[in-house]
Amino acid sequence: MNSVLRIVLQRLGLGVVTLVVVSFVIFVAVNAMPGDFAQAILGQGYTEEAGEAIRREVGLDKPYFVRYFSWLGAALTGDFGTSFAKANFAAYAGNTAGSGLDTVAASIAPRLENTLFLAGVAAMIAVPISLVLGLLAALYRNTIFDRFTNIFTLSSISSPEFFLAYILILLLAVLNPLLPSLSNVFEGMPFSERFIKTLLPALTLTLVVTAHMMRMTRAAIINLLASPYIEMARLKGISPMRIIVVHALPNALAPIINVIALNLAYLITGVVVVEVVFVYPGIGQLFVDSVKIRDIPVVQASCLIFAAAYILLNLLADVLSILSNPRLRHPK
Amino acid sequence: MTYILYLILLAGVCVGGGWVFRQSGQMATQNAPYFRDMPLGVASGFVIGLLALIGGIYLYFWNGNQFFRWAIQGFFIFSVLAYYFRLLGQQLGTSASRKLFRQMPMTAAFGMATILVYAFLAIFAGQVSIATIFLIAVVGLPLVIYAQAYFTTEAARSITWIMFGVIAIFIIMYFVGPIAPYGQDQIFPRANIVPGGDPALGGDPAFPLGTDQIGRDILSRLIYGAQNTVGIAFVTTCLAFLIGATFGFLAATLQGWLDQIISRVVDVLMAIPALIFALLLMTIASAWAGSNGALLTVYMIVIIAVIDSTRVYRLARAVGLNIVVMDYIEAAKLRGEGLGYLIFREILPNATAPLLAEFGLRFCFVFLTIASLSFLGVGIQPPLADWGTMVRDLAQFINYAAFAPQAATAPLLAAGAIALLTVAVNFVVDWMLHKSSGLKE
């Protein structure tokens, strides 16, 4: 158990180091932009003195590394700075009241929650479906059913997300009005209504991630079917279903858990396009909007959040596959 | 809630029907082994398939909508196309290629035929210039001479025929003219013409797929979209492979600190999700490029190529490391061969198969990333026609699908064009991987 703890801690440390380096890359990339915060915020009204004043106030006159560490330190405490768009808006409106809403953290927090809700709903649908489909495809391998699911999943994995989204809108919202095509969820909405509105984007995401998980489940199980202990079970006369569920599945669990964790990472980061299609107020939508108006603090913060989620879930996949595999648990 | 009840009822009908089907099969065939050993799941599967078939026929002929019919017709047209393509491949070509086509599943044949159609559309969307024909001839003739002089196999001689065929197609297309009826940025006075070409419904026979919101012909833009979207994706993938494979093979051959440095840099770049990283870099690139659309497209190619080259690097390094430990590499090193010889004459030829499969997959990813970026509005810039942008611009017409099916076709066609190509490439890659892995289970 001690060695397991050490390996897990090692991976965690590596994850933290990666995250710090990634944050540095993001910082450098954003600071490579021509012009700076002062020019962006003043726009046409830029003068040398005003720019100087703003730079001094925000701390842009300090050296590069000092700025990086103060940004990182603030980000760790949940303070991502002030959004350009909100700052401009506040300046035009001429008031600073309600400035609590102006911070990046305040505008991201509810959207992050929405995105996590969407990813959660999608995962609740996708994981059981893909596991069952993978098991069935392994059980009835090389039959019409297997070939059909293979073609179907390959097609859905290789279609762009917006194509699947519009097909679903066409089928389930326009031609047969079962579900709403706009997912305008807001705070204080009853859970059932929110769930119904989230269903269509969640189904789109399900179509995207199911294929990968299902193919991996099938491959992992079929890989095991050639091993001697399966042969033994088959010779004992156990039914094919029982062989796969009781004998093959536990040993195929490591790659399956791994691919599920990877797809959860994809769910959180891959929501951007789906959120835009369904106008779902998640962090992906905010990210794209900020990219278009070059709202740097928001872009920076959402990018960091996406990267953190991605790294953490990859880390989780790593740790789980170590824990579920005795050979990795006791390295020589 | 009622829908869930319907679903449960349907499942019950399927299982029950399966039981009846198996039972009657056993009765009719005096307990033949096929029916005796049939699990209930398989029997229900037959019933589900039968129900789906009946439902499909019913929807197609009686109570369906136009989109379902179009999808079924498209499916049959492409199946027939794939079938004849495979038949053609079995008759023409060298004995090796004929064997390849005989073993090919329908999905791979469909993929190859589709890729050829896209390539044809992409190359001949506009008018072929006479300079292009000369260029092809200048490149092709030395290739033919080289093949004739240095190889005596059947495959080498077929290069001659392929080259002549390509030049002939180019010359024919020079006289036929462009496939697209109009230019991609040609603006007509009538905007928002409904697709279908029926004047009674607001269409125009001159514009079979209608015009978009500022009066550009959608059919022409779809055809030019093949040129721009596919061409840019292809260039990006080539660039990604150039960068990734070069560094990967260098790292595998030299190892040591160079390998360590490159690998750590790649680790960091891969830790940021690709689409997010691309969007972040595109923000910065758009600040650099200003309003220069062409420059932004160039930046996009470089950005996506660099991001994707990290994945290529991983594969090239892994494959290279496996090859470097071989005895023939040791022998070449002892002979005193240089780095260039090792990489190009020893490693590269042995790494072509996995790299080629990866090229197909990478192309799909790059193509989808570009389409997504364009769909989000930061990809290929306006004067160029592009499928992702077209989907975004025309998407609202999908809401009219219930009462004006034609109006909804344009965005679906653009999105479908993207999906069709990636599906086709994936089918071919899947077949190649299956063939090379030797999985016959």
Condensed to tens digits (0 to 9), the pLDDT of residues B12-38 reads 888 888 888 888 888 888 877 877 777
A311 → closest Cβ in B67, B271, B283: B271
A160 → closest Cβ in B49, B287, B415: B415
Average pLDDT, chain B: 82
Measured between beta carbons, which residues in chain A are less than 8 angstroms from residue B268? Answer: 18, 21-22, 25
Measured between beta carbons, which residues in chain A are less than 8 angstroms from residue B65? Answer: 175
Is the CB of residue B430 less than 8 Å away from at least one CB of chain A? Answer: yes
Residues B387-399: pLDDT tens digits? 888 888 887 787 7
* B positions 343-362 inside 8 Å of A (CB): none
Question: Which residue segments constitute the domains of chain A, with CATH numbers given?
Answer: 36-303 (1.10.3720.10)
Share of chain B above pLDDT 70, in %: 95
Q: Report CB contact under 8 Å: B430, A33.
A: no
Measured between beta carbons, which residues in chain B are less than 8 angstroms from residue A299? Answer: 279-280, 283
A319, A256 contact by CB (below 8 A): no
Residues A155-190: pLDDT tens digits? 888 888 888 888 888 888 777 777 777 777 777 777
Measured between beta carbons, which residues in chain A are less than 8 angstroms from residue B416? Answer: 163
pLDDT at A183: 73
DSSP A279: T
Q: Report CB contact under 8 Å: B3, A178.
A: yes
* Long-range residue pairs from B288-294, CB within 8 A, at least 24 positions apart, any chain: B288/A33, B288/A34, B293/B381, B293/B382, B293/B383, B293/B384, B294/B381
Coil, strand, or helix at residue B411? helix
Which segments of B139-202 are extended strands (E)?
none
Indicate the pLDDT class of residue B243, thresholds 50, 70 and 90. very high
Indicate the pLDDT class of residue A92, thresholds 50, 70 and 90. very low
DSSP B125: S
Give the DSSP per-residue string, A4-57.
HHHHHHHHHHHHHHHHHHHHHHHHHHHHTSSS-HHHHHHGGG--HHHHHHHHHH
Is the CB of residue B149 less than 8 Å away from at least one CB of chain A? Answer: no
* pLDDT for A88 beyond 80: no
Is the CB of residue B85 less than 8 Å away from at least one CB of chain A? Answer: no
* pLDDT for B236 beyond 90: yes
Q: Report CB contact under 8 Å: B391, A166.
A: yes
Is the CB of residue B371 less than 8 Å away from at least one CB of chain A? Answer: yes
B188, B211 contact by CB (below 8 A): yes
Give the Cα separation of B232 and B390 in Å (integer): 16
A291 → closest Cβ in B371, B378, B408: B378
Q: Report CB contact under 8 Å: A288, B39.
A: no
Give the DSSP per-residue string, B149-162.
HH--SHHHHHHHHH
> Which is more confident, B18 or B194?
B18
For A312, the closest chain B residue by CA position comes to B271
Mean pLDDT for the stretch of residues B357-383: 84
* pLDDT for B213 beyond 80: no
A29 → closest Cβ in B271, B281, B415: B281
pLDDT at A100: 43
Indicate the pLDDT class of residue A144, thresholds 50, 70 and 90. confident
Residues A273-304: pLDDT tens digits? 888 888 888 888 888 888 777 777 788 888 88
| pLDDT-wise least confident of B24-38, B49-63, B119-133, B147-161 | B147-161
B279, B374 contact by CB (below 8 A): no
Mean pLDDT for the stretch of residues B167-191: 78
pLDDT at B238: 93
**Helix H or strand E encompassing A167:** helix A161-168
* pLDDT for B239 beyond 90: yes
Question: Which of A158, A172, A272, A285 to probe the B interface (max B CBs under 10 A)?
Answer: A158
Mean pLDDT for the stretch of residues B146-157: 71
How close is the nearest chain B Cα to the Cα of A170, in Å?
Answer: 7
pLDDT at B226: 84
Indicate the pLDDT class of residue A44, thresholds 50, 70 and 90. low
Give the Cα separation of B277 and B254 in Å (integer): 30
pLDDT at A57: 64
Measured between beta carbons, which residues in chain A are less than 8 angstroms from residue B361? Answer: none
- CB-count burial class (<10 Å; 0-12, 13-18, 19+) for B222: buried
Residues A235-252: pLDDT tens digits? 998 888 888 888 888 888
Q: Report CB contact under 8 Å: A307, B276.
A: yes
A270 → closest Cβ in B275, B283, B422: B275
For B3, the closest chain A residue by CA position comes to A178
Number of Cβ pairs < 8 A linking chain A and chain B:
161
Q: What pTM was computed for the model?
A: 0.84
Measured between beta carbons, which residues in chain A are less than 8 angstroms from residue B423? Answer: 154-155, 158-159
Indicate the pLDDT class of residue A38, thresholds 50, 70 and 90. low
Residues B283-307: pLDDT tens digits? 788 777 777 778 888 888 999 999 9
* pLDDT for A98 beyond 70: no
Residues A119, A124, A129, CA angle at the centre, nearest 5°?
Answer: 120
Is the CB of residue B399 less than 8 Å away from at least one CB of chain A? Answer: yes
Indicate the pLDDT class of residue A97, thresholds 50, 70 and 90. very low
Instruction: Residue A254: name the closest of A303, A328, A324, A309 by CA.
Output: A324
> Which is more confident, B75 or A332?
B75
